[in-house]
């Protein structure tokens, strides 16, 4: 039985990833930052999908808390085979108006947090496993007001192939999934309906992505079928460019 640690799993893409991995037969540690009730909802959904699950509260930028989350995986399920870092923070502003405190908050979660998760995963994931990060297609689309957020996620993409190469000899894959506009609270908050409708029309498929769309790509990369994909950033965005 494979064991997965999924951060940011109390809602949105992270929750859908946890459920998809549970349905694929994984035991899942549901990592969350601030909402125990939402995390327990995810635990219930994973169990309904057929997997075992426990919740673990951890700020991804706190190395002690992250180590504790991996310790829980080992205690409850025997180890870690898959790590998915879906935790993220998005604060939008034109560069000229960007509050540097907001920039620091994003970089703490999105860059430091990704490195803390990557470091623990590199130490703990069993040979043959998979590590998946979550970026954003805005790194390529470069929408106005997204500079701080895109910069923080660009760092995640830059790390991906390097970590894959550093894990040579252990049969561990490292990939990043970069969603386009996806119907999650993180994306929808603060946007008017006209903006949402405009973005939904951009891909040739003419809709927003759903969390389940992204979860399917992550589950593939975490599966034996996806194991030949390594060191890549996969833009799961319906064809928006």
Residue 129 CA to residue 224 CA, distance in Å, equals: 9
Q: From the candidates 32, 70, 115, 149, give the one annotated as an active-site residue.
A: 149
Report which DSSP code applies to 67.
H
Residue 216 CA to residue 212 CA, distance in Å, equals: 6
On whether the CB atoms of residues 28 and 47 are closer than 8 A, the answer is no
Two structure tokens written together for 30: 């549901």
Core vs surface per residue 117-153: b (16+ CB within 10 A) or e: bbebbbebbeeebbbbbbbbbbbbbeeeebbbbbbbb
Residue 149 designated active-site: yes
Enzyme catalytic residues = 149
């Amino acid at each position: 039985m494979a064991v997965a640690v999924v951060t940011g799993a109390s809602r949105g893409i992270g929750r859908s990833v946890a459920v998809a991995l549970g349905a694929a037969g994984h035991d899942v540690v549901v990592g969350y930052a601030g909402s125990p009730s939402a995390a327990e909802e995810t635990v219930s959904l994973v169990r309904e999908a057929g997997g075992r699950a426990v919740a673990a509260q951890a700020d991804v930028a706190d190395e002690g808390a992250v180590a504790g989350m991996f310790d829980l995986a080992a205690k409850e399920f025997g180890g870690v085979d898959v790590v998915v870092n879906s935790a993220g923070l998005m604060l939008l502003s034109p560069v000229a108006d960007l509050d540097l405190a907001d920039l620091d908050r994003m970089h703490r979660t999105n860059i430091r947090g990704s490195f803390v998760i990557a470091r623990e995963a590199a130490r703990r994931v069993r040979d043959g496993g998979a590590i998946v990060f979550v970026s954003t297609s805005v790194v390529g689309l470069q929408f106005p007001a997204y500079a701080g957020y895109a910069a923080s996620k660009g760092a995640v993409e830059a790390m991906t192939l390097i970590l894959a190469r550093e894990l040579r000899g252990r049969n561990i894959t490292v990939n990043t999934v970069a969603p386009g506009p996806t119907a999650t609270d993180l994306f929808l908050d603060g946007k008017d309906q006209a903006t949402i409708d405009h973005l939904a029309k951009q891909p040739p498929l003419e809709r927003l992505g759903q969390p389940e769309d992204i979860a399917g790509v992550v589950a593939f990369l975490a599966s034996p079928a996806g194991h030949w994909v390594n060191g890549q950033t996969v833009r799961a965005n319906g064809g928006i460019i």
